[in-house]
């Protein structure tokens, strides 16, 4: 059964739960995406691309044969993590708690790096990472807001949502979210903007009852207006993603460390080569898109007021 990180934290030992919850709190996407535990570090699956046809027949007639299209896929876990060194002087003068603070900062950094990879990862340019949604979404799941780039169209945003089966969330930048919120205050444009709260009590905007997830981190605008338009004439565009987060749609996968699935945080003690205490964080992880209509991307959005 796939669990979100928040659900997994409830089942983890107290020492691990702190780090898992920090992962979830550091990324809107990591807060909601479910993760499946996979044996052997890989998930083989069949992705449904096209349903078989059906028909009607007369008495003594045969049905026309029709077969659906299923594409076998394999998702392999990648190795994410890093080493963190804290000088012995800091621990001796500020206490052991100072080391924990640095460890949580490392966890937060990994969470934000994972978020970027979820959207922008490209194994053709960096084979150490998994492919993100920008690389995976093509064909009918890649929708042009405007071929040359232009203000976000609410009609196109609705088309994006319709392109996803059982959509659960929208993913965008803070700048795009502000434009969408401003449109909701404009009586000439409108927009089905409401608000709810996440598990940490923070306000979450919704559009057509779909929670809006912010992909940007505190240090980086992941979905900033630096993308190219469909015709390549405008390089100041952004994107919005619509996603169905579910164990049979868009899901995370994770392998095991010494038989235990999830994030591994290990205290390696004081190094012999220098006076530092080292902590190593490892996570064998990736994502899987289990259905051809699990996600879609709307590209060619400029930083301008929303239109109908």
Same domain, 125 and 221: no
Length of the chain in terms of residues written: 308
Question: What pLDDT, in 10s, does the model give residues 251-293?
Answer: 999 999 878 888 888 889 999 999 999 999 899 999 999 988 9
Residue 55 in this model has a pLDDT that exceeds 90: no
The pLDDT, as a whole number, for residue 119 is 97
Number of CB atoms found within 10 A of residue 122's CB: 15
Q: Where are the beta strands (DSSP E) in 180-249?
A: 193-197, 203-207, 210-214, 238-243
Q: Please determine, for residue 15, whether its predicted confidence score (pLDDT) is greater than 70.
A: no
Tens-digit pLDDT profile for residues 153-171: 999 999 999 999 999 999 9
Do 215 and 188 share a structural domain?
Answer: yes
Mean pLDDT across 237-245: 97
Please, are residues 64 and 55 in contact by the beta-carbon 8 Å criterion? yes
| Predicted local confidence at residue 219, as pLDDT | 67
Per-residue pLDDT, averaged over 38-44, amounts to: 92
pLDDT of res. 236? 96
Q: What is the mean pLDDT of residues 7-29?
A: 80
Query: Are residues 21 and 152 both part of a single domain?
Result: no
229 & 184 share domain: yes
Model confidence band, residue 191 (pLDDT cutoffs 50, 70, 90): low
CATH number of residue 90's parent domain? 3.30.2400
- Rounded Cα gap, residues 151 and 36, in angstroms: 38
Predicted pLDDT at 242: 98
The pLDDT of residue 46 is 79
Q: Is the dihedral of CA 24, 30, 36, 40 positive or negative?
A: negative
16 with 91, same domain? yes
Q: Which residue has the higher pLDDT, 114 or 258?
A: 114
**Residues 271, 211: one domain?**
no
Structural domain containing residue 14? 5-47+71-130+254-284
pLDDT at 51 (0 to 100): 63
According to DSSP, the β-strands at 142-144 and 295-301 are parallel
**Domain check: are 172 and 297 in the same one?**
yes
Rounded Cα gap, residues 176 and 214, in angstroms? 9
Q: Does some domain include residue 52?
A: no
Contact 104, 19 (CB under 8 A): yes
Confidence of residue 109 (pLDDT cuts 50, 70, 90): confident
The answer to whether residue 101 sits within a structural domain is yes
DSSP code of 63? P
Contact 143, 159 (CB under 8 A): yes
Residue 58 lies in a domain: no
Task: Give the pLDDT of residue 189.
Answer: 74
- Residue 150, pLDDT > 90, answer yes
**Which is more confident, 68 or 194?**
194
What would the two tokens of residue 307 be? 């239109």
Q: For CA atoms 212, 306, 164, 39, give the dihedral sign.
A: negative
Regarding whether 221 and 192 lie in a shared domain, the answer is yes
Residue 304's pLDDT band (cuts 50, 70, 90): very high
Is position 227 within any domain? Answer: yes
CA dihedral over 98, 103, 108, 110, signed as positive or negative? positive
Considering the chain, what percentage of its residues have pLDDT values greater than 90? 57
Asked, for residue 53, whether it belongs to a domain, the answer is no
Q: Which of 228, 8, 217, 47 is nearest to 117 (CA)?
A: 217
Tokens 């190593």 appear where? 280
**Pair 210, 169: CB distance under 8 Å:** yes
> Would you place residue 65 in the very low, low, confident or very high pLDDT band (cuts 50, 70, 90)?
confident
Our count of domains for the chain comes to 2
Q: Is residue 64 part of a domain?
A: no
Is 308 among the domain residues? no
The answer to whether residue 220 scores a pLDDT higher than 80 is no
Examine the domain organization and report whether 208 and 263 are in the same domain: no
CA–CA separation, 214 and 216 (whole Å): 6
User: If pLDDT is split at 50, 70 and 90, which confidence band does 63 have?
Assistant: confident
- The reply to whether 205 and 263 lie within a common domain is no
Specify whether 218 is located in the same domain as 273: no
pLDDT number for residue 7: 82
Asked if 83 and 192 sit in the same domain, the reply is no
Residue 55 lies in a domain: no
pLDDT averaged over the chain? 88
Specify the pLDDT at position 158: 95
Q: Which residue bears the tokens 């929670």?
A: 211
How large a percentage of the chain has pLDDT more than 70? Answer: 94
Region 218-223: what's the mean pLDDT? 79
pLDDT for residue 49: 67
């Amino acid at each position: 059964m796939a669990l979100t990180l928040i659900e997994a934290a409830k089942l983890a030992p107290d020492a691990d739960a702190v780090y898992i919850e920090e992962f979830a709190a550091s990324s809107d996407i990591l807060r909601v995406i479910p993760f499946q535990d996979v044996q052997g570090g890989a998930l083989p699956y069949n992705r449904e691309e096209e349903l078989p046809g059906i028909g009607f027949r007369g008495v003594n007639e045969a049905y026309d044969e029709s077969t659906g299209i299923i594409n076998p896929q394999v998702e392999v876990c990648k190795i994410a993590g890093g080493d963190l060194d804290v000088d012995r002087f800091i621990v001796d003068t500020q206490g052991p708690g100072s080391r924990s603070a640095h460890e949580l900062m490392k966890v937060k950094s990994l969470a934000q790096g994972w978020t970027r990879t979820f959207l922008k990862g490209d194994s053709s340019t960096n084979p150490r990472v998994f492919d993100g949604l920008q690389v995976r979404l093509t064909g009918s799941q890649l929708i042009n807001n405007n071929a040359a780039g232009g203000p976000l169209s609410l009609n196109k945003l609705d088309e994006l949502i319709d392109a996803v089966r059982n959509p659960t969330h929208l993913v965008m930048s803070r700048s795009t979210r502000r434009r969408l919120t401003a449109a909701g205050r404009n009586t000439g444009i409108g927009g089905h903007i409401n608000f709810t709260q996440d598990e940490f009590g923070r306000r979450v905007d919704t559009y057509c009852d779909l929670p809006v997830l912010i992909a940007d981190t505190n240090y980086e605008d992941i979905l900033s207006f630096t993308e190219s338009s469909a015709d390549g004439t405008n390089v100041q565009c952004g994107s919005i993603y619509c996603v169905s987060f579910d164990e049979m749609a868009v899901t995370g996968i994770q392998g095991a460390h010494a038989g235990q699935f999830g994030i591994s945080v290990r205290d390696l003690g004081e190094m012999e080569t220098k006076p530092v205490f080292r902590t190593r964080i490892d996570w064998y992880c990736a994502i899987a898109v289990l259905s051809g209509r699990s996600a879609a991307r709307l590209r060619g959005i400029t930083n301008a007021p929303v239109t109908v």
